Amino acid sequence: MKYFFNCLLLISLFQPVNLIAESARSAQRIAVLYDDEFILHNTGPNHPENSDRISSTINFLKNDSKLKQNLIWPTFSYASIDVISLVHSKAYINLVKEESEKLSEFSAKLSTGDTVISKQSYQVARKSVGAVTKGVDQIMEGVVSSAFAFSRPPGHHATKDRGMGFCIFNNVAIAAKYLQNKYGVSRILIVDFDVHHGNGTQEIFYSDNTVFYFSIHQHPFYPGTGRPNEKGSGEGYGYTLNIDLPKGAGDKEFIQSLKSQLIPVMDKFKPEFILVSAGFDAHENDLLGQLKYSNNGYKEATDILSIIAQKYASNRILFVLEGGYDPTNIKEASASILNAIISKNKTD
Ligand SMILES: [Zn+2]
């Protein structure tokens, strides 16, 4: 009997320590949000935004010996209409549903612009939002401090009531509103390093001083917005910061802009959460973009964002895939980002 009680004592003494150690190990891991259903958004033959973009990346992340032990793969469901309505009008959500579900196996263009949709696109777009809200939940619940959502379709061109530029629902903008609505987060930074300006995200938060939108992109280029003189309006004036780069600019301009322009304003804004619109179409050799960021450039950018996250946001950072049309670039650049976070976590 005495032995039995000694065993109970030992269990009660050691279990909390083990739980704390396990929880610390888990918080150092990174949540990757991906669902095979993302493949079902069919943009037709020869479209740059196709499912092949991310399949080799996911395969690599699941099998790379260093990465796989540092990643967790939470499952998630479709975002509710209420969650999508945090950003988009009910009329637009219904339009996407009706126009996609009436299609046969062929793809067509959404009537609001240049976004190709197929029969499953509405449901896949809802799941794409589900990926980012799950990433937010995992971080805010302390399961992890950082996450990467390989959402498809992408989102940063989508406005409140218009899909355009391969985007249906604005994943990152919904994540920001969801953070505010569910968790009461007061100040959110969105960093957008896709080669294109995220006109949708800018428009949604243009008069908002609780969400800071920073975009660095190629100019002149699609969609034409994002000039440095676009700084926000009303209470939001000064909370939008656009840096446009000429064709051919690379890591030097990218990193220098983050250091000289983003860091000083973040020392004033003090973001509590960082969302990253991670497009890889500014990578050298992309099929559409003409900037020349390297894999090491994405690593250096991550190091800078991690410093801001550590200083003000309890390390909370969620990367969300936007564009990028060379599968090898997406695989290598996202691995650079994930490895940079893993290295930082190990030195904390
Ligand atoms: Zn893009």
pLDDT averaged over every residue in the chain: 94
Coil, strand or helix at 296: helix
Report how far ligand 1's centroid is from the alpha carbon of 290 (Å): 11
11 alpha carbon – ligand 1 mean position (Å)? 54
Handedness of CA 48, 77, 100, 95 (dihedral sign): negative
Categorize the per-residue pLDDT at 271 as very low, low, confident or very high, splitting at 50, 70 and 90: very high
Q: For residue 27, what pLDDT band results from cuts at 50, 70 and 90?
A: low
**For 186-234, how does the pLDDT look when each residue is reduced to its tens digit (9 = 90+)?**
999 999 999 999 999 999 999 999 999 999 999 999 999 999 999 999 9
| CA–centroid distance, residue 27 to ligand 1 (Å) | 31
| Residues contacting residue 240 through CB under 8 Å, at least 6 positions apart | 202, 205, 206, 212, 213, 230, 231, 232
Classify residue 79 by its DSSP letter.
P
What local confidence, expressed as pLDDT, does residue 105 receive? 75
Which residues are bridge partners to 317 per DSSP? 146, 274
pLDDT in the model for residue 336: 98
Distances (CA, A) of 176 to 81, 141, 152: 16, 16, 18
Q: pLDDT tens, 160-190?
A: 999 999 999 999 999 999 999 999 999 999 9
Give me the active site residues, please.
157
Report whether 143 contacts 30 (CB < 8 A): no
pLDDT value of residue 9: 46
Identify the pLDDT of residue 189: 99
Q: Is the pLDDT of residue 12 over 50?
A: no
Q: Ligand 1: distance of its center to the CA of 48 in Å?
A: 11
Share of the chain above pLDDT 70, in %: 92
Domains of the chain: 30-347 (3.40.800.20)
- Bridge partners of 188? 211, 273
Distance of CA 136 from the midpoint of ligand 1 (Å)? 23
